[in-house]
Chains A and B, each alone.
Chain A
């Protein structure tokens, strides 16, 4: 069955530090992969998506993610974190018309 694993429940970084959020997926075919961000009490905003082609995907707010088929991973990165990046981050894989979400990673940013 398709699934998404986000191994890190909670990550804390200092403002200006680099960030990597991990995501592993289980999917039989070529996956459609997504990263969403959710601020407290808000809906989801799409950061970036991978459908095919270049395995390094650029998104909004300075985020990027790299698809590695051999490792079944789609890790999210940002070179320099801002305090406003503090939020919950969800990785997801599309199963035909449905999205399967990981359990999320809560990012805390210290000044």
Chain B
């Protein structure tokens, strides 16, 4: 099956520093990757859609200068939280959508990574 990995699984950093989170599709190529944020005991909120070779599309209310997304290859997208502050502490989850899809319809299934727990002190 399609496997998506994230690295690191946990990270603790000091306020003001930047943190990079990697999302990799291990056994398939992903033209599109998605980044979600999940607060404790809450649902997943889409932050941005990342397309290989182009700029990410951010959801309303998400600061693109704060959350830098790079999708340089068909198997790797990175999320960099710049000048992190305690309020950025959260669980960040990525997903990847296979190139070409598998339904033939409007929607192509997303495969989720295991998530990254970010704690900013």
Contacts and interface: CB of A to CB of B under 8 A. Distances in A.
A42 B114 contact: yes
Interface stretch (A62-70, A79-87, A101-109): A101-109
B117 A44 contact: no
B32 interface: yes
B43 A49 contact: no
A111 interface: no
Interface string A41-61: 111111001010000000000
Interface residues of A, number: 21
Contact of A44 (B6, B32, B49, B93): B93
Interface of B: 4, 6, 32, 34, 41-44, 46, 49, 91, 93, 95, 97, 103, 105-110, 112-115, 117
22 contacts: A36-B112, A42-B114, A43-B4, A43-B114, A44-B112, A46-B109, A49-B109, A51-B107, A90-B43, A94-B106, A96-B106, A96-B107, A97-B32, A97-B106, A97-B108, A98-B49, A99-B46, A99-B95, A101-B43, A103-B42, A104-B42, A106-B41
